[in-house]
């Protein structure tokens, strides 16, 4: 017997093509686990309605029949997934978990959804998010807050919290999230997953409820590196409806997986967390042990430094606030009570910035991008931390606030470089996963996957999944 949450996307896809598993049977097993665990303990899905289940079952039946006819749309054919509730799916509300947008039913599909439909993927429902991707842990939310399936006493990280929780809990093999200040990488790292923020412009944002036009990204969250590459393969590409969408050719993202690292140079940015007395020693140890694994795999390791990280993070936050206020200004003026306290306070910070301030921030940003390009010069990828704090407990406001400073995610939203997280172990203290961050050159995601997969194959730890009393159904 095979439990559904032990299957990677690639394994499920292979079994479907071999005839040992049908999309209908796979979806039924997933729905069984969701029905018993989502509302009772996890709260990843916010809109898994009977109508939505019927739609998903119809899609799975279509995929099953198509495969029987020999019509194969690719690796995602028949594979269920969920969407962060900022991404449009026609006929389904895109609320951003904000009361102001509760009746905001999408009239068309986002670009990424159109790609996934063409690939035969099966949409299950919308997944929880911090309010408008900027509300922090939304304690005043009208929707249930997701719990970390590894240890519900600790936060999931945001803002793509539902996307990460759904994958970690085994509800879906992949989900799409968004990343404006680390919002794919943060919950992926807290939940033991592989989460990618692609190169800016690599994935169209048409159909995404924006937060910051210049820093928003859509990307995949999965349990394995190969799975992540398969999803990016589907959603990457030029889109004329998104003026920031790049025409850069789409690579075969899995092509380098399994190739040796000999001859590769990997930079390590370790100074920020090695010199921080409050850094979590288990997070630090996990990253440095991962570096040694990569060294033994044949890569040359060199040290790198990046000055002014607090300043970089501050510029990113201020620009995010200014852009976010511009997006939501009308709603905040006319119906401020329909915004949660956290989201409202963060967005209103952008109201105090003048045009001169905004221009100065963009000037500073240009200098930051240059410094990150220098950081990346002469190396194939950079390895560093995503966050280097110990995960805050639920309700610990001071630790939560501090976590915004003990992280190295936001610099790469400013610069647009691709960045991903890969789990490195499990804490003996919290029971939560630790992680490292891999940063690549623009449009060089295939190289990042090569490095991440090399580590994944040699990782000196084994963690099949979270321990939240999740007993998934069996697939016959």
Residues classed as catalytic? 84, 159, 183
Cβ-based burial of 369 (10 A; exposed 0-12, middle 13-18, buried ≥19): middle
For tokens 């990828």, name the residue. 381
Give the integer Cα–Cα distance in Å for 134 and 158.
9
CB atoms within 10 A of CB 377: 10
Residues β-bridged to residue 208: 87
Give the integer Cα–Cα distance in Å for 279 and 277.
6
Residue pair 196/445 in contact (Cβ under 8 Å)? The answer is: yes
What are the two backbone dihedrals, phi and then psi, of residue 261, each rounded to the nearest 5 degrees? -95, 0
Least Cα distance to 440 among 412, 456, 423, 418 occurs for 418
Residue pair 191/168 in contact (Cβ under 8 Å)? The answer is: yes
> Two tokens at 100?
């102001």
Residues β-bridged to residue 126: 83
> Two tokens at 430?
């919290």
Question: For 422, which DSSP code?
Answer: E
> Two tokens at 119?
């690939």
Instruction: Name the 3-class secondary structure at 407.
Output: strand
User: Helices (H) and strands (E) in the chain — how many of each?
Assistant: 15, 12
Least Cα distance to 76 among 176, 166, 157 occurs for 176
- List of long-range contacts for 351-359, beta carbons under 8 Å, 24+ apart: 351/325, 353/318, 353/321, 353/322, 357/318, 357/322, 358/319, 358/322
């Amino acid at each position: 017997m095979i439990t559904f949450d032990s299957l990677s996307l690639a394994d499920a896809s292979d079994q479907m093509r071999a005839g040992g598993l049908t999309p209908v049977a796979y979806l039924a097993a997933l729905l069984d686990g969701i029905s018993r665990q989502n509302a009772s303990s996890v709260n990843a899905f916010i809109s898994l309605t009977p109508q939505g289940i019927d739609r998903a079952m119809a899609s799975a039946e279509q995929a099953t029949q198509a495969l029987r006819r020999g019509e194969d749309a690719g690796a995602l054919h028949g594979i269920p997934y969920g969407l962060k509730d900022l991404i449009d799916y026609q006929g389904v509300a895109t609320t951003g978990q904000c009361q102001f947008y509760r009746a905001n039913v999408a009239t068309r599909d986002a670009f990424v959804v159109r790609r996934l439909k063409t690939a035969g993927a099966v949409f299950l429902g919308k997944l929880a998010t911090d309010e408008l991707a900027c509300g922090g842990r939304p304690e005043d939310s009208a929707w249930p807050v997701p719990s970390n399936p590894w240890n519900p006493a600790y936060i999931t990280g945001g803002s793509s919290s539902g996307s990460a929780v759904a994958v970690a809990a085994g509800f879906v093999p992949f989900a799409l999230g968004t990343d404006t200040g680390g919002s794919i990488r943060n919950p992926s790292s807290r939940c033991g997953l592989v989460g990618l923020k692609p190169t800016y412009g690599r994935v169209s944002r048409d159909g995404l409820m924006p937060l910051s036009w210049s820093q928003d990204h859509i990307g995949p969250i999965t349990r394995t590196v190969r799975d992540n590459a398969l999803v990016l393969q589907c959603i990457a590409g030029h889109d004329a409806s998104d003026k920031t969408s790049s025409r850069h050719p789409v690579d075969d993202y899995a092509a380098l997986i399994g190739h040796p690292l000999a001859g590769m140079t990997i930079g390590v940015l370790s100074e920020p967390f090695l010199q921080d007395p409050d850094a979590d020693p288990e997070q630090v140890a996990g990253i440095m042990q991962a570096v040694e694994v990569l060294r033994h795999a044949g890569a040359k390791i060199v040290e790198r430094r990046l000055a002014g990280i607090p300043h970089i993070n501050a510029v990113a936050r201020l620009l995010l606030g200014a852009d976010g206020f511009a997006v939501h200004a009308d709603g905040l003026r006319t119906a401020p009570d329909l915004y949660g306290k956290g989201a409202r306070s963060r967005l209103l910070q952008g109201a105090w910035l003048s045009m001169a301030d905004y221009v100065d921030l963009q000037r500073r940003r240009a200098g930051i991008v240059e410094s990150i390009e220098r950081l990346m010069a002469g190396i194939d990828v950079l390895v560093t931390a995503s966050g280097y704090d110990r995960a805050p407990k639920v309700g610990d406001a001071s630790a939560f606030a501090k976590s915004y400073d003990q992280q190295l995610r936001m610099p790469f939203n400013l610069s647009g470089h691709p960045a991903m997280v890969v789990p490195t172990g499990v804490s003996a203290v919290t029971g939560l996963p630790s992680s490292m961050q891999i940063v690549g050159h623009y449009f060089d995601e295939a190289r990042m996957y090569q490095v991440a997969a090399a580590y994944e194959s040699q990782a000196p730890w084994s963690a099949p999944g979270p321990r939240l009393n999740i007993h998934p159904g069996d697939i016959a």
